[in-house]
Amino acid sequence: MEKEWKKQCKDGSYTVRTCGWSPPGDHPAGCGMKLHIKDGKLVKVEGDPEHPISQGRLCVRCLSLPEYVHHPDRIIYPMKRDPKDRGKDKWQRITWDEAWDLIVEKVNGFKKNYGAESIVVFGGTGREACLYYYPLGFAALGTPNVCYPQSGWSCYGPRCAITDYILGAGYPEIDFAGYFPDRYDHPGWKLPEYIMLWGKEPLKSNPDGFYGHSIIDMMKRGTKIISVDPRMSWLGSRSEYLLQLRPGTDTALALAMLNVIINEDLYDHEFVEKWCYGFEQLKERVQQYPPDKVAEITGVPAEKIIEVSRVFAKAKPASLGWGLAIDQNPNGVQLGHALLSIMAITGNIDVPGGITLGMPAALMGKWRVETRGELTEELWDKRIGAKEWPALSTALATTHPDETLDTLETDKPYKLRMGWFNSSNFITPTCSAAPDRWYKALLKLEFNVVQDLFMTPTAMGLADLFLPLSSFAEHDGVVLTHYGRNAIFLGGMNKALQVGECKSDVEMMIELGKRLNPSAWPWNNAEEFFDDQLKPELGINFDDLRHEGLYQPNYEYRKYEKGLLRYDGEPGFNTVTGKVELCSTLFEEWGEDPLPYYKEPPFSPVSTPELAKEYPLVLTTGARTFTSFHSEHRQVKSCRDITPDPIMEINPETAAKLGIKDGDWVVIENQFGKCKERAQLVPTMKPNVVHAAHGWWYPEKEAEAPSLFGVWESNINTLIPHKTIGKLGFGAPFKSILCKVYKAND
C-alpha cells in the first residue's frame, strides 16, 4: 500500500486514507477508503484500490458518509436534561468539564451509598465501542455489570463460547486469504471447493472480521456455494444447492448431514482418530436423525440432504460460514456443536481453504477483558446472572442479559441506579427482546448517560446526559478484526476532521478514567493508548500502522499439530480432553446433554399446534440490508431513498389469500406484540414463512414521548418474548416465532 496517509492539495483541500469501522455502525470490516476534505468538510468518499482486502469496493453506508457526518440532526455538544423531563425535548447545552463533573459526582455518590454494582453499562454489537465498553465498566466506572442486552446473548457470543468449549480456539472463520498481502496468490493458500453459508449473508453483513465480497472473489476463481437459509438471498440464487429449511430447524439438518457423512464413511479417519474425542457417541446419536425423518422436520427433501452431505464431505477443502442464525436460536448451542463437528470430521479445521482458527495471542486488545482485574473478587461475584448461567459467564465477561432485565424490574439481588448506554439504542427493535418491558424498567434508573451521534429513541426516552460521539472520519483508531479472536489484519484509522466538540469512545474513556481511577489510565491521548496496546512482538506503533495502512500477520495452519493452540505448548486443542470435543465434557458438567440434539423452536407449528391455528405463519427477522446497520442510517437520505420503509417479505400466494398486495402496509402480530411493516411479495419465500425487518424508527416523526420518533410503530421485537432461551442461557427465538399478518387499516 502507499505509505502516505494524508495528501495536501494546493487549494487547501486534502485527502486522508483510512480504514472504516464505526460510527456509523459496521462490524470490523475495515474497508479501505480515501476521505476528501474541503473547507473543513467531508465532501467525498472513495474506495482505496490499494487496500488488499476491499480493493476499492465500498457499500452505500460509507459512500454516504458525508451526509451522515454533516447531518443537521447530529448532536455535536454535550447536553443535559433534568431527569423529570425524560422524554421531553428540554435539553441544555453544557461544557465537557460540566459533563465530567456531573458524572464524577453521580458515580462517586452511587458507589459510596450503594456500591459500584448499582451501575450498569449497556453496549451493543461489533462497533469500535465494543472493545471499549468493558474497560469503561470495569476500569473507569468500577462496576462488574457490563450488559449486552440481546435476549440469550444471541449474537456472536454463543458461537465464540461454543468454539471455546468444543475447539478451545479463537473464532473459526472462512479462509479468505486475508492474512496474506498477496491474498489468493499466496502459495500456502488453497481455494475452497465449496463454501457452506449457514444462516449467513455476508455480502450484506460483512460480519465481525469477514469481508463478504471475498466470497465473490472466490466464486470467480471456482468456489461453489451451498446456502442453508429459509430465504433465497443473492448468493442463494447463485448457489449450487439451496437448502430452504423451516426457520429454527437447523440442528436437525446438521445432525442429518452428520448421519450421512458418518454412515457412508465419508469422514477423515486420520483426523478423527488423532484429534477428536467422543466420535463413537456422536455416531450413535446421529442414528436418531436419518435424512427422511429430518426432511419432515425441516422441509428439505431427503435426497437433497444426502447429496449435499456427500458433496461437502468430498470437497477438499471445504469451508463454512456460520451466521447469526446459529445464535438466534435456543437450540443454537447444539447447532454450533454439530456444525463444528461436521468441519472436524471432514478434516477442514485449520487447513488452507477450510476454516481458520485465531492464534491464542491477539495482536492487540489487552485492555478489553483483562481490565476486570481492576475489580475485587467480591465485586466480580456480584455480576448479574453469572452464578445462574455458568456456561455463559465463563466465556463472556458480561451480565446475563435476561437476568439484567429481571434485576431492573424486581430490584433483586440489588437495585440498579445508574445506566450508561454506550453503543446500544436498544428500545428500538434492535438489541432487546420485549423492548417495551426494558423501556419501563430503565426509566426506574436514577441517572442515565447516553453516548451517541444522534438523538435516538433511547436517548430521548431515557438520557439525563448526552455525550456527543465522533464518527470514524473524526478520530484515530485501530480496526481489529474479530475483536482479536481471529485477527486477520489490523487497519489504521486516521482522523480527517473535527466536528463540533465530538469525541471518540477512546478519548472519552481516557478522560473519564483519569478522573475516576487514574492509576488504570496512564495515557494522555489516543495515540499513546494505541502505542501501548499494540503487541510489542509486532514491532509496529500506531504511527507505523497509520502510514502502512494495514498490518497482515501471516498465518500458521494446522496449529494443533505444532503446539500452537494450547497455552501449555503441547499439540492438540485447548479443551479439557485436548481434542475436538464431539462429545462435550463441559456441557455435561453444566447439566446439558454432552452431544448435540434437536429441539423444536419454542413456538412453532409442531411444538405449539394450538397457537399455530391463530398464528399460522413462521416469522424470521432481521436479515441485514446494505442500507442500515441495525437502527442506524434511518436519517441518511441516500440510504433511506433505497429503503424508505421497513419491509416484510411474503410469498405472493399467501399474500393473495390474505388480501395483501405488494406495497401494502400490514400488521404482523402474535401473543406478545404487533408491528407495522410494508409487504413485499417475494416468490421465493416459502408459503408459510415471512421475514420482517428489524431496527426501525422514524427520525422524521415526533421526538417526544410517547412517540419517541415512532419507535413503537414498527418494533418487531415486541413480538419476541423475554427469557425464552436455551438451557445454557444462550439463544432466543429472533429467527423463528409464530405470527399472523393482516392488512393495516390506517
Residues that bind Mo ion (CB under 5 A): 125, 155
Give min distance, CB of 90 to Mo ion, in A: 34
Q: How far apart are CA 398 and CA 161, in angstroms?
A: 13
Within 13 Å, how many C-alpha atoms sit on residue 137's CB side?
34
User: Mask 665-704, x = binds ligand MGD (CB under 6 A)?
Assistant: -----------------------------xx---------
The torsion angle over the Cα atoms of residues 71, 77, 83 and 85, rounded to 10 degrees, is -50
Q: Determine the number of helices (DSSP H) and then strands (DSSP E) in the chain.
A: 29, 28
Calculate Rg over the CA atoms of the chain: 25
If the CB atoms of residues 407 and 422 are measured against ligand MGD, the closer one turns out to be 422
Site string for ligand SF4, 11-50 (x = CB under 6 A): ---------x-----x--x-x-------------------
CB of 482 to ligand MGD, least distance (A): 13
Phi, psi of 216 (to 5 degrees): -70, -40
Peptide bond into 596 cis (omega under 30): no
Rounded to an integer, what is the distance from CA 600 to the centroid of its chain? 24
Partner from Mo ion, ligand SF4, ligand MGD, none contacting 407, C-beta within 5 to 8 A by type: none
Q: What's the rounded Cα separation, in Å, for the pair 296 and 301? A: 8
CA distance 720 to 625: 20
- The C-alpha atoms of residue 294 and residue 297 are separated, in whole angstroms, by 5
Among the listed ranges 424-432, 474-482, 602-610, 637-645, the one in contact with ligand MGD (CB under 6 A) is 424-432
Among Mo ion, ligand MGD, ligand SF4, none, partner that 380 touches (CB below 5 to 8 angstroms by kind)? none
All three cell numbers of 185, joined, read 496468490
Residue placing its CB nearer to ligand MGD in the complex, 247 or 365: 247
Contacts of 133 (CB under 8 A, 6+ apart): 121, 122, 123, 146, 422, 423, 505
Residues within window 200-219 making contact with ligand MGD, judged by CB under 6 A: 200-202, 204-207
Measured from the Cβ of residue 131, the count of other Cβ atoms closer than 10 Å reads: 26
- Out of Mo ion, ligand MGD, ligand SF4, none, what residue 20 binds, judged by CB under 5 to 8 A for its kind, is ligand SF4
Min dist. Cβ of residue 475 to ligand MGD (A):
9
Could you tell me how many residues of this chain bind ligand SF4 (CB under 6 A)?
A: 9
488, amino acid identity: I
DSSP helix/strand/coil, 494? coil
Nearest residue (CB) to Mo ion, 154 versus 724? 154
Of residues 118 and 150, the one with the C-beta less far from ligand MGD: 150
Kindly give, in sequence order, each residue whose CB lies less than 8 Å from that of residue 410, ignoring residues fewer than 6 positions away: none
510 binds, among ligand MGD, Mo ion, ligand SF4, none (CB under 5 to 8 A by kind): none
62 is in the binding site of which of Mo ion, ligand SF4, ligand MGD, none (Cβ under 5 to 8 A by kind)?
A: ligand SF4
Residue 559 in grid coordinates: 496449529
Give the nearest distance from C-beta 377 to ligand MGD in angstroms: 29
Q: Half-sphere exposure of 196 toward its Cβ, with a 13 Å CA cutoff?
A: 25
- How far CA 397 is from CA of 326, 331, 389, 418, 745, in Å, comes to 21, 22, 12, 19, 47
Nearest approach, Cβ of residue 351 and Mo ion (Å) = 28
Q: Which does 620 bind (CB under 5 to 8 A by kind): ligand SF4, ligand MGD, Mo ion, none?
A: ligand MGD
User: What is the contact surface with ligand MGD in residues (CB under 6 A)?
Assistant: 22-23, 25, 27, 124-129, 150, 155-156, 198-202, 204-207, 228-231, 233, 247-248, 250, 323-325, 422-426, 428-431, 451-453, 456, 469, 505, 620-624, 626, 628-632, 694-695, 716-717, 720, 734-736
User: What is the contact surface with ligand SF4 in residues (CB under 6 A)?
Assistant: 20, 26, 29, 31, 58-59, 61-62, 206
